[in-house]
Amino acid sequence: MLRFVLRRVGISLLVMLGASALLFWLVTVSGDALADLRESNAENRQTLMNSRIRTMGLDEPWWSRYLSWLGGVARCFTLDCRLGVTRNGVDVQQLMGNAAVTTLRLVVLATLLAIVVGVAVGILTALRQYSGFDYTVTFLAFLFFSLPVFWAAVLLKEFGAIRFNDWLADPLISPLVTVLLAVVLAFVLQSIVGGGPRRRLTTGGIAFVWIAVSLVVFEETGTFRDPSFGVVPLAIAGAGAAVLTTTLVTGLGHRRVLYAALTTVALVVVGSLALGGVVDDPGHAVVLVGLYALAVVTALVVGWAWGGSSRRQAMAVSAVTATLVCLLVLMSKVAEYWGSYLVLQPRPISTIGASTPGFAGTFWEDFIDKGTQLVLPTILLMLISVASYSRYTRSSMLEVLEQDYVRTARSKGLSERTVVTRHAFRNALIPITTIVAFDFAGLIGGAVITEQVFGWKGMGELFQTGLNQTDPIPVMAFFLVTGSAAILMNLLADIAYASLDPRIRR
- Three-class DSSP category at 6: helix
Contact between 269 and 231 under an 8 Å Cβ cutoff? The reply is yes
In order along the chain (506 residues), what is the average pLDDT of each group of 10 residues? 72 84 89 81 83 85 89 81 82 82 83 88 86 84 83 88 91 91 89 79 91 91 84 91 88 87 94 87 87 94 89 91 94 91 89 79 88 88 85 89 85 82 80 76 71 81 85 88 78 71 61
Mark out the alpha helices in 162-230 (DSSP H runs).
163-169, 175-193, 197-221
Residue 91's beta-bridge partner residues? 85
The pLDDT assigned to 294 comes to 94
Give the span between the Cα atoms of 32 and 36, in whole angstroms.
9
The pLDDT assigned to 8 comes to 73
The pLDDT assigned to 304 comes to 94
Contact between 370 and 356 under an 8 Å Cβ cutoff? The reply is no
Spatial CA neighbour of 359 closest among 372, 377, 345, 340: 345
The pLDDT assigned to 170 comes to 87
The pLDDT assigned to 108 comes to 83
Spatial CA neighbour of 68 closest among 52, 48, 80, 82: 82
Residue type, 356: T
Average of per-residue pLDDT values in the chain: 85
Q: By 3-state DSSP, what share of the chain in percent is helix, strand and coil, each rounded to 5?
A: 80, 0, 20
Q: How far is CA 445 from CA 29, 39, 208, 347, 481, in A?
A: 22, 32, 42, 30, 10
State pLDDT tens for residues 156-193: 899 989 999 999 988 888 899 999 999 999 988 887 77
Residue type, 162: I
Residue type, 305: A
Give the span between the Cα atoms of 5 and 13, in whole angstroms.
12
State pLDDT tens for residues 321-364: 999 999 999 999 999 999 889 988 888 988 887 777 778 888 99
